[in-house]
Chain A
Amino acid sequence: MTVFLIRRLMQAVVVLFVMSLIVFIGVYAIGNPIDILISPEADQIERERAIEALGLHLPMWEQYLVFLQRAVTGDLGRSFAFSTPALELIVERMPATLELAIAAMGISILVGIPLGMWAGFRPESLAGRAIMAGSILGFSLPTFWVGLMLIMVFAVHLGWLPSTGRGETVEFLGLQVSIFTLDGWSHLLLPAFNLALFKMALVIRLTRAGMRENLLMDYVKFARAKGLSTGRVIFVHVMKNIMIPVVTILGLELGSVIAFAVVTETIFAWPGMGKLIIDSINQLDRPVIVAYLLITVSMFIIINLVVDILYSVLDPRVRLKEMKS
């Protein structure tokens, strides 16, 4: 296990290094770093000073080292638009995004697993077919358009839930406690559902496939032969085996939910990281873009690492194979 952990950790460091190199090349080498990192409003003296401070007069490889050094110490530049450190700006918005992502994950699990299990248990039934048709739709519906339709139906037409899509940011949702208040939930529900839809379709498909596969296995027959009730066979024996792929995929998808939150946040004017990055790209606020990319990439690497470890804990076969190789 230790060997496995160390190997994965080393891989994670290599990936992080490679990604930092890519972002560096992208922003510093392909684009003009002076234009990218120094505000266009700066005068000549300020520019000179900034070039000196950022080390832009140094050769490329030295610049990369400086960039790495600054990144490691958490200095990713200052935002042009907000004049605050880019890192701080992103960390400030992170709770809102995480809250949205976790709520979306929760919804997709709570809805997706029971539906998927039913569809796998009774694949030929009307409900089973309807669930599968719904999941195809869930895959095909463009997230942003569904978001618009949700706003149209629930916020504009029925007026049940607030849509924050008027361009204003809702300050009280920036705090993590919003999830405990009723008003917070009413704001969270639409965006979280919107974000959950795609994952729900995925969970349904995975659970259904796992269910169908496992129901044919010998251990199910054996459990039935022992005289266990259908409920016990499904919820204890089969469930355990279905969970392995579902947990892995969901873990990996948590990162993708955070990335896709970009779309949902923009539609519902959710004051998270995703909306920040889109605004930054539109305003060419490049320090924030660099900081966002580095932070998200690191987050991904950590998530992938945790999932791999979790996977090896859940499924001993993987651990053994990794150890041998």
Chain B
Amino acid sequence: MTVTTPDRIEPAAPAAEPAVVSPLRRFWIEFRENKVAVAGLAGCILIVTLAILAPLISPQDPYDLMQLDIMDGRLEPGAQGMAGQTYWLGTDDQGRDMLSGILYGIRISLAVGVASGVLAMMLGASMGLLAAYFGGRVDTLIMRIVDLQLSFPAILLALIMVAVLGQGIDKIIIALVAVQWAYYARTIRGTALVERRKEYIEAARCLALGDARVVFRHLLPNCLPPLIVVGTVQVAHAIALEATLSFLGIGLPITEPSLGLLIANGFEYMLSGKYWISFFPGLALLLTIVSINLVGDQLRDVLNPRLRK
């Protein structure tokens, strides 16, 4: 989702006039000023591409038992397998190629992170818009819940959710959505409270447009920039949280081997010096999170009108 963020602004941006620099183009010019952020964007694109293409580019299907050779178990990075193939990042205890495992793991981690991020954004944004648009009791009620939730750390809420719901990919996504929606709600409420008082909203209401239409077609597009910034950072958080829960053995089931599970799998071998089973998945996780955070940081600067020159 991070990669597509520049496109996501497009609907909100008015059509460019030939002589003027289009908002999208200006956005890109400002974005690329920070070389580190561009590197982060490149990292994001790389990771998404790897995740999408995983089945095509992996040396083996790590979960097809026919392709695994138990004799190749726990080989060092760069070692040759029984069939003559090279395991660039080594193998785990089952003789599974770590590179392939990581590529598939990124796929799962990213899918869970993005899915929960998008759902949380939809829920949180709706709640925040409702609170801002209707005000009064609706606002008080929603924001009380948000405040209450934000006063507890994400991991504790996730633990409560997991303890109540149990395990499974759908349950983890529900838990992550429940943990995250409040951040979106608070962010969009702040923006929407300002936007609500502007003339175009008044104009839309004078046209006797329905509340839903005013909120989602007029108010929402103008509240998007901060939401996108929070969204980027939250997707990174979601990926890290899912990895943490999976590492603890209370996240995804072993049938969905995300990066967190791969790291957990290597934990017991780490003490005997076989670092690669945990090290490389962790590096992939780190790269993912850092890339997203770098892009998020720069988006915050570029999309913040106060910092605009």
Contact = CB atoms under 8 A, between A and B. Distances in A.
Interface string A31-55: 1000000000000000000000000
A142 interface: yes
Interface string B234-278: 001000100110011110000000001001001100110101001
A21 to B, nearest CB: 12
B301 to A, nearest CB: 14
A250 to B, nearest CB: 14
Among B159, B290, B293: residue with most chain A CB under 10 A:
B159
B127 to A, nearest CB: 18
A247 interface: no
A225 interface: no
Interface string A58-85: 0000000000000000000000000000
Contact of A142 (B162, B275, B286): B286
Interface footprint category on A: 35 or more
Contact of A140 (B152, B156, B286): B286
Given A142-B289, A149-B282, A266 B248 contact: yes
A299 to B, nearest CB: 10
B250 A281 contact: yes
A263 B286 contact: no
A219 interface: no
B258 to A, nearest CB: 12
Contacts of A143: 244
A45 to B, nearest CB: 29
Contact of A26 (B163, B244, B260, B271): B163
A140 B240 CA distance: 9
Contacts of A149: 279, 282
B243 A156 contact: no
Contact of A137 (B267, B275, B290): B290
Interface in A278-325: 278, 281-282, 286, 289, 293, 296-297, 300, 304
B148 interface: yes
A123 to B, nearest CB: 15
A134 to B, nearest CB: 12
Given A18-B148, A142-B282, A144-B244, A26 B153 contact: no
A52 B120 CA distance: 41
A139 interface: yes
Contact of B270 (A148, A256, A289): A148
B267 to A, nearest CB: 6
B71 interface: no
A157 to B, nearest CB: 8
B39 interface: no
Given A144-B244, A148-B263, A30 B164 contact: yes
A215 interface: no
Interface string A127-158: 00000000011011111110011011001110
A27 interface: yes
A22 B160 CA distance: 10
A145 B285 contact: yes
30 contacts: A18-B148, A26-B160, A27-B163, A27-B164, A136-B290, A136-B294, A136-B297, A140-B293, A142-B243, A142-B244, A145-B278, A145-B282, A145-B286, A148-B263, A148-B270, A151-B270, A152-B279, A155-B271, A157-B273, A165-B271, A255-B152, A256-B153, A256-B156, A259-B159, A260-B153, A263-B155, A263-B248, A281-B159, A286-B163, A300-B151
Interface of A: 15, 18, 22-23, 26-27, 30-31, 136-137, 139-145, 148-149, 151-152, 155-157, 163, 165-166, 252, 255-256, 259-260, 262-263, 266-267, 277-278, 281-282, 286, 289, 293, 296-297, 300, 304
A-B pairs with the 5 shortest C-beta distances? A26-B164, A256-B153, A145-B282, A259-B156, A259-B153
